[in-house]
Amino acid sequence: MSDKLAIIAAKLSARAIRAIGAGLGSNLPGRLARSVSPGVLAKLTSQCRRGVLAVSGTNGKSTTSGLIFSILQRAGLKAAHNRQGANLVTGITASLIEASDWDGHIDVDYCLFEVDEASLPVVAAEVELSAVVVTNLFRDQLDRFGELDTTARLINEGMQRYRSRAVLNADDPNVAQLGQDCQRTFYGIQSLSEQSRAPQSKGPLELSYCAQCGREYDYSLVFYGQLGHYNCPACGHARPVPDVSAQEVNVQHNRSTFLLMVGDEAVRVNLPLPGLFNVYNALAAAALAYRLGIPAVTIEDGLTNYVTLFGRSERLTIEGKSVLIQLIKNPAGASQVVSSLVNDQSARVLIAINDNLADGRDVSWLWDADFELLADHTKPILVSGQRAQDMAVRMKYAGLPADQIIVVPALAQALRQVLAATGPEETLWVLPTYTCLLELQKILKSMGYTLSGT
């Protein structure tokens, strides 16, 4: 009886929150339900016919889970998914209640959860996880997570609880070492096309030490951060051979193409997302789908026909102007977004930075992101948000002339100003932190536009 009361209360609260325009109702209803019935999440997930799938890691959780959802749909499978990206246990609970009927019945093959790194063991304490996908591990919100070994330990704790099948990024040594007692599937990039090859870094930009002996890895190929082809010069420990891989990767400013190797099968993928980081997201989704027994042709179909999620490489037309919204939140992710941006010769740019709790209070990460890539950008760059002045200083030190940096702290005003300056043949790139993205969602709604999943 308490489960039913919890579900009714949560559904009514979600409707009320949306009706008064107070948000998406993606967290509070879950908190309310759990206070009425602490076991409601376990009760709902127990109805999944095939199991519970979790996606965790620093960057790419939302997009990877969205790509998995797309593949599952193309395979004719039903999934409940926290599509709005609320990835704490309260948000996950709210998403399942949203997918259930008023009696708490849920008709799905899989529950698919994007899970915050620190929340994975919390979720695993209540839910048996069939598989855990890990995208990458970078420094992110040090005020919350501490250093990378803490984040790795939390994720490992979550997957080891049930010895869940682990789907791991072979190119990230911080990820490849996880799940030693689990069935492991690895994915990675084998080669880039000639036009996508960037000048080789002298070494990785993040911590990359051998999991066996602690010696710093040598790299024969670096894609970005610590992701690449590595081996230990002391003990010989090396990057695992991927079960699923991408070859001949060609990255453009609005899409990527590559040859996807799934076991012994090969399919050509035309991914409607920019950036090498999204190729990794697609590989993670493909690797999980492969282990679920989904054919390669169906995997390709799901990747090619993917529809973007809330603020993750999301494209829309506003007042006749082409706009791309890409969340940024840490050095590695921001650097990859900027590297995609600079390939778009028609780009206008608005960067919006907040330092609320959900963004991470510490904005020193701005200095580790490679904004120097924008030094040759010829159009004005608008900076907005609570830390607009900090971002302006960062742009100055990145090499932009002072008269090319426009500070407009109020996001609504900044958006109107940059939209007015954007020509019909140009694309406006909006790079917000998380709470700026939520604010942007409300601004656009007031203008008559809706972001995906809202």
* Domains, in order of start, for the chain: 2-304 (3.40.1190.10), 312-446 (3.90.190.20)
Supply the DSSP symbol for 432.
E
Measured CA distances, 104 to 10, 37, 74, 124 (Å): 11, 12, 26, 21
Instruction: Report which of 135, 116, 142 is spatially closest to residue 368, judged by C-alpha positions.
Output: 142
Three-class DSSP category at 377:
coil
Cα-Cα-Cα-Cα dihedral of 297, 298, 300, 302, to 10°? 170
Tell the burial category of 153 from Cβ atoms under 10 Å away from its Cβ (0-12, 13-18, 19+): middle
pLDDT tens-digit profile, the chain (454 residues)? 688 888 988 889 888 888 887 777 678 888 999 999 999 999 999 999 999 999 999 999 999 999 999 999 999 999 999 987 788 999 999 999 999 999 999 999 999 999 999 899 999 999 999 999 999 998 765 544 456 788 889 999 999 999 999 999 999 999 999 999 999 999 999 999 876 665 444 444 566 888 889 899 999 999 988 999 999 999 999 999 999 999 999 998 788 999 999 988 999 999 999 889 999 999 999 999 999 999 999 999 999 999 887 777 888 999 999 999 999 988 888 998 998 899 888 899 999 999 998 888 889 999 989 999 999 999 999 999 999 999 999 999 999 999 999 999 999 999 999 999 999 999 999 999 989 998 998 999 899 998 875 5
Which residue(s) pair with 184 in the sheet? 166
Residues designated catalytic? 362
Three-class DSSP category at 451:
coil
Structure confidence at residue 21 (pLDDT)? 75
441 contact partners, CB below 8 Å, separation of at least 6: 310, 311, 451, 454
CB 440 within 8 A of CB 430: yes
284 contact partners, CB below 8 Å, separation of at least 6: 55, 60, 64, 67, 133, 135, 167, 169, 187
Q: Rounded to the nearest 10 degrees, what angle do helices 276-291 and 296-304 cross at?
A: 140
Structure confidence at residue 359 (pLDDT)? 85
Question: What order do you get walking across the sheet with 312-318 strand by strand?
Answer: 312-318, 321-326, 427-432, 347-352, 381-384, 405-407
Q: Rounded to the nearest 10 degrees, what angle do helices 89-99 and 28-36 cross at?
A: 90
Angle 315-76-325 from CA coordinates, rounded to 5°: 10
CB 257 within 8 A of CB 269: yes
Cα-Cα-Cα-Cα dihedral of 22, 17, 315, 96, to 10°? 140
CB 65 within 8 A of CB 132: no
Measured CA distances, 312 to 83, 298, 299, 325 (Å): 12, 23, 20, 7
Three-class DSSP category at 125:
coil
- State whether the Cα torsion 264-130-155-45 is positive or negative: positive
Q: Measured between alpha carbons, how far is 404 from 392 in angstroms, rounded to an integer?
A: 10
Amino acid making up residue 118? A
Q: Measured between alpha carbons, how far is 35 from 378 in angstroms, rounded to an integer?
A: 54
Structure confidence at residue 203 (pLDDT)? 46
What six digits make up the tokens of 26? 């993606």
Radius of gyration of the chain (CA): 21
